[in-house]
Structure 1
C-alpha cells in the first residue's frame, strides 16, 4: 500500500512486540512524571517528541522544539499547594509496535498527600528513530 491507505491501515503487529511497546512507552510516561515532580523542564522535554502537540478542548498548542514550558509554571503550581503528581492509572487503549495511546488518570497532591485535583487525559507515545517519546497530550 502507498499514500493515504498505508497511513490509515498500519501493518499488524505481533503480540510480544505490542506488549514490549506498551511497557517501554509506559516507562517513558513514568520518566516524564518523575521529571515533572522534580520541576525539571529540560528533563521533561527529554521525554517528548517535537513537534509536540497539546489539545485542550478545541484549542491546539504546538511546540516545534524544546524549551517552551511557561516561565513560572512550577512556581504557580507550588503556590496552589502542589508537591507531587501521582498516577492513578495508565491504560493502554490502542497500541502497535511504535505507538501507544494511553488514558492517563492522575492526581496533583500537596505535601500531606491530600488530592488537590484529579485529571484524566489522553497521551500518545511514539517510537521515532528507536526512542520513545510523548508526541501528543490531550487535556
Structure 2
C-alpha cells in the first residue's frame, strides 16, 4: 500500500529523471497534436491512457477505452474554418519521473494561419507500463 504522506507530498527535489520525464511527456503531447492535425482519431487515442478523463468546468467525462471521439468531430471543426492546431506554449508546472502536469496554450487556425481561437488548458501525462500517454485534460 502507498504511504499516504508520500502520495500527497512526494520529495520536491529536481532530478535528471524529471527533466527526462518532461522531455518525453512533451513529445507525447506533440505526437497527439500531430495526429489531431491529421484528423487521425485512432492515432490520437494511441497517445492517451485509459481510462481517460476530461474536465470542463465542473463536468467530468471519462472514456474507459479508445474509440469514443464523435464520428463527426473533425467535420464540425473544419466547418468552423479550422485547418490546424498549433502550440503557443507547453509549460511543465509539476513534474516527477512518471507524471508531468502541463499548462498548454494552443491556437486553432484557418488555412491562412489566422487564429480562430486560443485555448489554455491543463493536461497531465503519465508513464504507465513504460509508455507515456495523456491521462487527463482539463478545458
Give the TM bin, normalised by the shorter chain.
over 0.9
Offset at residue 15 of structure 1 (A) = 1.2
Aligned position for 2:66: 66
Instruction: Return structure 1 stretches of 4+ with deviation > 3 angstroms.
Output: 11-14
Whether the 8 Å CA contact 1:89–1:106 is kept in 2: the answer is: yes
Question: Structure 1 length as normaliser, TM-score?
Answer: 0.95
The whole-number CA distance in structure 2 between the counterparts of 1:2 and 1:110 is 48
Offset at residue 30 of structure 1 (A) = 0.1
Whether the 8 Å CA contact 1:13–1:96 is kept in 2: the answer is: no
Aligned pairs for 1:1-139 within 5 A: 2-11=2-11, 15-139=15-139
For structure 2, list consecutive stretches of 5 or more residues without a partner in the other structure: none
Offset at residue 75 of structure 1 (A) = 0.1
Tell me the secondary structure at the aligned position of residue 91 of structure 2.
Answer: strand
The whole-number CA distance in structure 1 between the counterparts of 2:80 and 2:136 is 26
The whole-number CA distance in structure 1 between the counterparts of 2:65 and 2:76 is 23
RMSD (Å), alpha carbons = 1.4
The whole-number CA distance in structure 1 between the counterparts of 2:60 and 2:91 is 24
Whether the 8 Å CA contact 1:101–1:123 is kept in 2: the answer is: yes
For structure 1, list consecutive stretches of 5 or more residues without a partner in the other structure: none
Question: Structure 2 length as normaliser, TM-score?
Answer: 0.95
85 and 98 in structure 1: CA distance in 2 versus 1, 3 angstrom threshold? same
